Structure 1
């Protein structure tokens, strides 16, 4: 059973609560914080950042950020790139990551996307097994930061 979540726009009213969502300390080397994600979005407007808080009921449990329908160029992958996906430490292991990807994939397919790219830091505790379990496959590419690039074919229905 997939966790029931909803993707919510981030406003002044919920920004602090969403920024407070944190991964386990051991995962911090693999995924940047929500605050850092906001900074990256501001610093990289050409990446067409699209982000949402992930809520279960009235509580923020995660965060997702993509590059949405950008024109790829050096340093910018796309057109659709999963830039950030995080689930708060106290909410992990409940299916939220899969539910977030399910929602994002539905939105991307509705927008006409045929693939979703992401990347992850290799090493013990990396999210790569989660992404591969969802259906992402390595492209064989390593990006400039040493991250493994993965691709999800959105033309295939699972």
Structure 2
């Protein structure tokens, strides 16, 4: 496995929006096209969307959020993983772990000390994945999702 991240460009846009997760996961994460639309409508530098590529094959998509005003009142700024979509046929091969590690390095390089993520709760959600990576639940929810933190 030699994955890398690529900026989403006109040349790979169709590959990015073509990433399909398993049907049983569709209720738990937004499609890539929605993430790209959200990246577009937020101020420049807040969203960091990237295509995950192994060799020349797109295997996933991630979008980080960088230094956002978490409560909207200026009291808390956070960075973290906003979206993670690993293609159905590429799951279980370490690409999710790679993606979280890449976002952790990005945040660490910007002086951050925590990586935040949220996930769909329940037995069909990715909670075990995040907890195995060292995230801990902080007791918050965001849009009915569990919020977790990884100390960097």
Question: TM-score, structure 1 length as denominator?
Answer: 0.88
| 1:107-126 alignment runs, 5 A limit | 107-126=106-125
Q: Note the alpha carbon deviations across 1:92-129, whole angstroms, 9 max, x for none.
A: 11111111112221222111110011111212210111
Q: Do 2:80 and 2:107's aligned partners in 1 also have CA atoms closer than 8 Å? A: no
Cα 1:87–1:131 shift into 2, 3 Å: same
What does residue 151 of structure 1 align with? 149
Deviation for aligned residue 1:130: 0.3
Q: What is the DSSP-based 3-state SS (H/G/I as helix, E as strand, rest coil) of the residue aligned with 1:80?
A: strand
Distance (whole Å) between structure 2 residues aligned to residue 75 and residue 37 of structure 1: 24
Q: What are the ranges of 5 or more consecutive residues in structure 2 without an aligned counterpart?
A: none
Aligned match of 2:53 in 55, 60, 71? Answer: 55
For these two proteins, the number of residue pairs brought into alignment is 151
Q: How far, CA to CA, are the matches of 1:54 and 1:67 in structure 2?
A: 16
Secondary structure at the counterpart of residue 11 of structure 2:
coil
Which structure's residues are more often strand, by fraction? 2
Q: Deviations over 1:8-39 (max 9, x none)?
A: 01110000011101100100111111101112
Q: Aligned match of 2:2 in 1, 4, 21?
A: 4
Question: Is the partner of 2:100 in helix, strand or coil?
Answer: helix
- Tell me how large the CA RMSD over aligned residues is: 2.0
Asked whether 1:140 is paired with 2:149, we answer no
Distance 1:139 1:46, change over 3 A: farther
Corresponding position of 1:21: 19
Aligned-pair distance for 1:48?
Answer: 0.7
2:70 is the alignment partner of 1:72:
yes
Aligned to 1:91: 90
Q: Which residue of 1 aligns with 2:40?
A: 42
TM-score (norm 2): 0.91
